[in-house]
Amino acid sequence: MPEPVIRVLRGGALALILLFFLFPILWILLMSFQTNADILRIPPRLGFTPTLSNYVALLSGKLATSSGTLDITFLRNLGNSLLLSVASVAASLVLGVPAAYAFARYRFRLGESIAFTLLSFRFAPPLLVLLPLSLYFQILGLTNTYGGLIWVYQLITLPLILWIVRGYFEDASPDIEHAYRVDGHSWWRTFTRIAIPLARPGIAAAGLLAFIFAWNNFVFALVLASADKQPVTVGALAFVTAAGIQYGQIAAAIVLSILPTLALALYAQRWLVEGLSLGAVKG
């Protein structure tokens, strides 16, 4: 086939894929500027009068419905989401990166079994562990605490970070670390000055993924926390009111809750594409 034809076909395929993945986001964005009446009109119309009322309702915390004004805690939920996700990922990085290094560099008793057990947390459906967990949490007094939630979030974030970062540590030549030791640097300095910088793209990728998974989690907070500790994913339930489902506010809430992840992804991209270990050893 001639070159231009291939290029057109490839462009067409790309456009289709982009349309498939991005159209829902575009539609949500449009919905967030529409009133519920516009949204529910059949057939839908592209020509509508944009309104900021959805965002105003979210930010002011007052939701006017046909059956009166409701208090919503969207901003607090957003704050909870940020707190829970950031703290969970931070805790997982502090615990997971050294653990990943240990699994990558050292052979020890039950090493593989421990690593696999940690991974297996990702196999079990969360609902399976939630019931016993909620009982334990009541006994321990962890129900409806940030600490308890962050702990449970480790089930999501820790295995992810551990396994992704481990691969990056394994890819780096141990001789680079040996060389640094022979130069006269301690084990700890070698870990912080050589091993971590070389695994940075992996740590960034794993951190970002873990953040997204933590951010999107729904069921842990639904069961283990009450309204004032719940993230946006659970808080969005509030828009299903007695007076009907507030599609406009849901859309606006989704748009707002995508923003932090999007910003983080754009920021972390710098490290994701950085191929640091190239040229480190021969070849």
Residues within the interface to other proteins (CB under 8 A): 173, 175-176, 178-187, 194, 197-198, 276-282
Residue with smaller CB distance to other proteins, 196 or 212: 196
Q: What tokens were used for 152?
A: 């449970």
- CA-to-CA dists, residue 44 to 32, 48, 188, 248, angstroms: 14, 10, 61, 14
Q: In whole angstroms, how close is the CB of 266 to other proteins at the nearest point?
A: 23
State whether residue 252 is helix, strand or coil.
helix
Question: CB–CB of 166/114 below 8 Å?
Answer: no
Nearest distance from C-beta of residue 177 to other proteins, angstroms: 9
The least CB distance from residue 22 to other proteins, in Å, is 35
Shortest separation between residue 265's beta carbon and other proteins, angstroms: 23
The C-alpha atoms of residue 120 and residue 101 are separated, in whole angstroms, by 19
- Judged by beta carbon, residue 128 or residue 281, the one nearer other proteins is 281
Output the CA torsion 103→106→111→116 (10° steps): 20
Which CB sits closer to other proteins, 96 or 201? 201
Quick one: 104 or 238, whose CB is closer to other proteins? 104
Smallest separation (angstroms) from other proteins to the CB of 183: 4
Q: Indicate the residue among 123 and 188 with the shorter CB distance to other proteins.
A: 188
Give the C-alpha separation, 214 to 221, whole Å. 11
**Cα separations in angstroms, 62 against 30, 36, 56, 70, 182:** 22, 16, 8, 6, 64
CB of 106 to other proteins, least distance (A): 9
- Cβ atoms of 176 and 203 within 8 Å: the answer is no
The answer to whether 137 touches 224, Cβ cutoff 8 Å, is: yes
Rg of the chain in Å (alpha carbons): 24
Of the two residues 5 and 182, which places its CB atom closer to other proteins in the complex?
182
